[in-house]
Structure 1
Amino acid sequence: MAHPDDVDFGSAGTIAGWTDRGVEVVYLMVTDGDAGGFDDAVTRAEMAELRREEQRAAAKCVGVEDVRFLGRPDGLLEATLDLRRDIARVIRQVRPDRVLTSSPERNYERIYPSHPDHRAVGAATLDAVYPDARNPYAFPELLADEGLEAWTAREVWLSGGPAVNHYTDVTDAFPRKLAALKAHASQTAHMGDGLEEMLRGWLAGNALAAGWPEGRLAESYQVVNTA
């Protein structure tokens, strides 16, 4: 994901379900979120460190211990070859079956998930999954210098985009999702009780779109077969 808190807004409930079933999850944040927050007294370097700490705390709420950062500047991301290489490197290191990222498409129904950084990371990640990580001749230095063998991820889950073909029930995991987002205090503390109200409304809408009964909460994705 592009920023600390992106994964928690979109997918913390789903990830809690995965870790409960024994699935190992690794987070990769492309920026430290240094352009975020609402406190002018905090320097950008201090904000970056704070947001790294918040993301690690949020990850623990849903059972994730391995959190990695690329440290690229917040708000300036592009889907460059360098970014593709860095993401492909982590894919080869972790060797995942599933990669979750943000959609590279703008969502005109709900424009706020469509931050340029989100779209850039989604595009670079899809390219890193195919063809970069699986092609031994792409970025040959990853193999020659770092010993990282090619790896094929079976599927990609895209969040925040205009197309949806899969929903996960996060009703029981909602308290952990809420706790994860509250851990991002620099981004959410000002919302107070409005954070829970916003999340419940959003997730209930997803569940309704899935055709589920009232009272259920869902996170939504476009799942892409990349095997």
Structure 2
Amino acid sequence: MRRALVVCAHPDDVDFGAAGTVASWTSAGVAVTYCLVTRGESGGDGTRPRAETGAVRQAEQLHAADLLGVAEVVFLDHPDGAVEPTQALRRDLTRVIRRVRPHRVLTWSPEINWDHLPTAHPDHRATGTATLAAVYPDARNPNAFPELHAEEGLEPWAVAELWLADAPRQLRNHCVDTTDFFERRMAALRCHVSQVGADAELADRLLAHFTDTAARYGLPRGRLAEEFQVVNTG
């Protein structure tokens, strides 16, 4: 696994849900690309204009990605709060997949996690649905969006693995030991000042969450882990 693509709806999604995993990949020499469907202009406390909020959140995400060693960050500029799994979004994601040619794609589950409803944002689930369609069948199908080949020279590409974050708990089947990367993942998350502010308890809450996750997978006491639903697309 030499190249990975992370697709999420908003700046900060990956840093809340998978930054430790991303840090483990980049530390192992994997080239990671982020694809953000929106710039997060609907986030924040409403004191800034939407365009300014989007610009601030974009800068925060770029800083966070840099701390984790992410090779590239792509913004698709779909409207925050109104993401739908349209043909246009599927084409945009297929374009990114064919250009990056990732062996693994990580995105958000298209299903609702009823154990923690706040993470089941409609944009997250729509992004997951569109990414799933882009991974299979669009990116590998030469008859899907043929203009990408004819006009941009982008050959079809088959992604081997799809990793889904925040899937319903009963569907999660894989964990990544992220103990050694906790400080880096927290540094990346702290870059999102417009979203997390000076939340003094954030690290403690996440530490407890990742400790519990590691314990459920049988990791030794004191280890931390992030978990996913991993799907072989073959």
Q: Which bin holds the TM-score, normalised by the shorter protein?
A: over 0.9
- Answering whether residue 143 of structure 2 is matched by residue 145 of structure 1, we say no
Distance 2:148 2:71 in 1: 25
Structure 1 counterpart of 2:68: 62
Q: Which residue of 2 aligns with 1:94?
A: 100
Q: Which moved more, 1:153-162 or 1:206-215?
A: 206-215
Pair 1:177-2:193 in alignment: no
State how far apart, in whole Å, the 2-side matches of 1:197 and 1:5 are. 18
**How many equivalent pairs are there?**
225
Q: Is 2:218 aligned against 1:215? A: no
1:107 counterpart residue number: 113
Q: Distance in 1 between matches of 2:216 and 2:81?
A: 32
2:130 and 2:179 map into 1 onto residues whose CA distance is 31
Which position in structure 2 is the counterpart of 1:22?
29
Q: Which moved more, 1:169-178 or 1:205-214?
A: 205-214
How far 1:214 sits from its partner (Å)?
2.2
> Match for residue 3 of structure 2?
none
Cross-structure match for 2:173: 165
What are the superposed Cα offsets for residues 79-135 of structure 1, whole Å, 9 maximum, x if unpaired? 111111110000001000000000000011111221110000001001000000000
Instruction: Kindly state the Cα deviation for residue 213 of structure 1 after the two structures are TM-superposed.
Output: 2.5
Give the share of equivalent positions with the same residue, in percent: 55
Work out whether 1:135 is the aligned partner of 2:163: no
Q: Is the Cα–Cα contact under 8 Å of residues 114 and 161 in structure 1 kept in the other structure?
A: no
Q: Within the alignment, does 1:46 sit opposite 2:39 as a pair?
A: no
Distance 2:58 2:159 in 1: 27
1:206–1:220: 8 Å Cα contact kept in structure 2?
A: yes
* Displacement after TM superposition at 1:41 (Å): 2.9
Q: Which one-letter code corresponds to 1:59 in the other structure?
A: A
- SS of equivalent residue, structure 2 residue 162: strand
- Read off the aligned partner of 1:26 and give its amino acid letter: T
CA contact (8 A) 1:54 1:184 kept: yes
Whole-Å separation in 2 of the counterparts to 1:139 and 1:125: 15
Root-mean-square deviation (CA), in Å? 0.9
Q: Give the 4+ runs in structure 1 shifted more than 4 A.
A: none
Q: Is the Cα contact below 8 Å between 2:31 and 2:71 reproduced in 1?
A: no
Distance 2:39 2:71 in 1: 17
Deviations 1:147-177 (A, max 9, x none): 1110000000000111210000011100000
TM-score, normalization by structure 2: 0.94
The equivalent of 2:11 in structure 1 is: 4
Q: Give the TM-score taking structure 1 as reference length.
A: 0.97
Counterpart in 1 of 2:201? 194
Structure 2's unaligned 5+ residue stretches are 1-7
